[in-house]
Amino acid sequence: MCKGLAALPASCLERAKEVGSRLGLLLKSESTASRTERKSKIPGGGHADKTAKWGESLDTLLEHKRGVAAFRAFLRSEFSEENIDFWLACEEYKNTKAGSKLPLKAQKIYEEFVKVQAPKEVNLDSYSREWVQRNVTNPNLSCFDPAQRRIHGLMEKDPFPRFLKSQYYLGGLRQA
**Residue-level pLDDT at 101:** 86
The percent of residues above 70 in pLDDT, for the chain, comes to 72
Are 61 and 68 a contacting pair, CB within 8 Å? yes
Between 57 and 172, where is the model more confident? 57
Instruction: Quote the CA–CA distance of 71 and 146 in Å, as a whole number.
Output: 22
CA atoms within 13 A on the CB side of 156: 13
Reported as a pLDDT band with limits 50, 70 and 90, residue 11 is low
pLDDT for res 29: 39
| pTM of full prediction above 0.85 | no
Strands (E), the chain: none
> Could you give the 3-state DSSP secondary structure of residue 138?
coil
Burial of residue 116 (number of CB atoms within 10 Å: 0-12, 13-18, 19+):
exposed
CA 141 – CA 102 distance, rounded (Å)? 8
Query: What does the alpha-carbon distance between residue 149 and residue 142 come to, in Å, rounded to a whole number?
Result: 11
Confidence of residue 97 (pLDDT cuts 50, 70, 90): confident
Domain layout of the chain by residue ranges: 10-39, 54-171
Instruction: Give first-to-last CA distance, the chain, whole Å.
Output: 43
| 98 alpha carbon, distance to own chain's centre | 30
Mean pLDDT of all residues in 115-135: 95
Q: Are 105 and 152 in contact (CB under 8 A)?
A: no
- Which of 1.10.760.10, 3.40.50.300, 1.10.10.1590, 1.10.167.10 would CATH assign to domain 54-171? 1.10.167.10
64: Cβ–Cβ under 8 A, 6 or more apart, which residues?
A: 50, 53, 54
Determine the Cα–Cα distance for residues 112 and 24; give it in Å rounded to an integer.
54
Rounded mean pLDDT of 24-34? 41
What's the rounded mean pLDDT across residues 144-159? 97
What pLDDT, on the 0 to 100 scale, is given for residue 47?
Answer: 65
